Amino acid sequence: MPLKYFVFPKQGISLTWHQTSCLPSPSLIAQPAADLNNTPLNLDMSGSGRPRTSSFAEPPGVPGAAAASTGSAAAVGSSTGKSGVPQASGSSSSGCSNLKLARDSGKVTTVVATPGQGPDRPQEVSYTDIKVIGNGSFGVVYQARLIDSQEMVAIKKVLQDKRFKNRELQIMRKLDHCNIVRLRYFFYSSGEKKDEVYLNLVLDFVPETVYRVARHFNKAKSIIPIIYVKVYMYQLFRSLAYIHSQGVCHRDIKPQNLLVDPETAILKLCDFGSAKQLVRGEPNVSYICSRYYRAPELIFGATDYTANIDIWSAGCVLAELLLGQPIFPGDSGVDQLVEIIKVLGTPTREQIREMNPNYTEFKFPQIKAHPWTKGFLP
């Protein structure tokens, strides 16, 4: 990772958030570099207008692996053509868009895709420069360039169960916010096996993640500057406020799912593969959210939790950025619970009942809360 993308100038830096845009405007101020961590962040939070920002092209030399989403429940295998192009056939379920043709010996792919937002009006979309940038149990993520606009996009390909609607697709089609990765188009393609259908989500491409930014500073044996922490956390909570107002719980907040453009400092929340529209009284699975970022009610096995589990995860991200390491590490739920108790103290019976009324194992060591000043101040 080129160092130039994460080094502040020797002068201080002040970021002002414009009311009509998600773009922070950096301006150098006469301030010693030693005072950088005390620099106040001037963010204008009065405006709720949301103009659409453009996608971000990958800066030269910066790997694109950060755009790969993780944590989706869908299990899928890679299915690519000789040139790495996602393959498709002319058959799909009703309302599905299909891969139409490949031109110029597979270098350009044209599909009939449906816009992510707005009316279902399929249109031809052509892209090229396809390469794999991520894969996992969720599927495969490709990087590509749209022919018409020359913008970079990420194409997330997941196996689609034709018996059900894809929850991630349904949720992303409803979301429209500058701090959430945008669903530009979607289309369906067939796999190598008979009746195998894949959903392809064409998303904004953003080259970096908060995880990689933090790891860069860790490798340099330094702590991420507080100005970065302020900018990133402000945008994360802004995105959470929006999706929670829509009744959506992300359920997998972690640094790897926070995309960052290194040139503008704009953060975009991604990977809604675990997200769900929470309904009061409707049970949910408790084994959700990635290790280190799971709220205690999830560890206690609660199934009627709220979107507050996202806030807990965001707090864990904040602490990790400040400390340079996860605040609640653990190889199991019990290990994580012990780490939580070390910091916050032993939960009372009332607190445990509030998290999960059915939890009956109350044998915890009585530990007082750890003073915050010892954990976060030198």
Domain assignment of residue 270, yes or no: no
Do 195 and 233 fall into the same domain? Answer: no
> What share of the chain has pLDDT > 70, as a percent?
67
Kindly report the average pLDDT of the chain as a whole number.
76
Angle at alpha carbon of residue 325, lines to 9 and 308, rounded to 5° = 105
Domain assignment of residue 60, yes or no: no
Do 2 and 80 fall into the same domain? Answer: no
Do 368 and 225 fall into the same domain? Answer: yes
How many domains does one find in the chain? 3
Q: Tens digits of per-residue pLDDT, 192-219?
A: 888 899 999 999 999 999 999 999 999 9
The answer to whether residue 9 scores a pLDDT higher than 60 is: no
Domain assignment of residue 266, yes or no: no
pLDDT confidence of residue 356: 79
310 is catalytic: no
Do 41 and 75 fall into the same domain? Answer: no
Domain assignment of residue 218, yes or no: yes
Last residue of a domain, one of 181, 204, 227: 204
Residue with tokens 């602490």: 319
Do 213 and 340 fall into the same domain? Answer: yes
The two structure tokens encoding residue 74: 């869908």
Task: Report which DSSP code applies to 201.
Answer: E
Question: Which listed residue (35, 161, 252, 335) is catalytic?
Answer: 252
Do 74 and 146 fall into the same domain? Answer: yes
Do 352 and 214 fall into the same domain? Answer: yes
Q: Which residues are annotated as a binding site for ATP?
A: 157
The Cα 84–Cα 122 span in angstroms is 24
Do 216 and 292 fall into the same domain? Answer: yes
Q: Which whole number is the average pLDDT over 36-45?
A: 40
Cα dist. 341→121, 177, 287, 305, 318 in Å?
A: 53, 36, 20, 20, 18
The answer to whether residue 159 scores a pLDDT higher than 70 is: yes
End-to-end CA gap in the chain: 29
The CATH number of whichever domain residue 192 belongs to comes to 3.30.200.20
Structural domain that includes position 328: 208-260+278-376
Taking residue 187's Cβ as centre, other Cβ atoms within 10 Å add up to 24
**How buried is 158 (Cβ within 10 angstroms: 0-12 exposed, 13-18 middle, 19+ buried)?**
buried
Do 286 and 184 fall into the same domain? Answer: no
Do 83 and 46 fall into the same domain? Answer: no
Q: Which residues are annotated as a binding site?
A: 157
Range with lowest mean pLDDT among 6-20, 48-62, 156-170, 285-299: 48-62
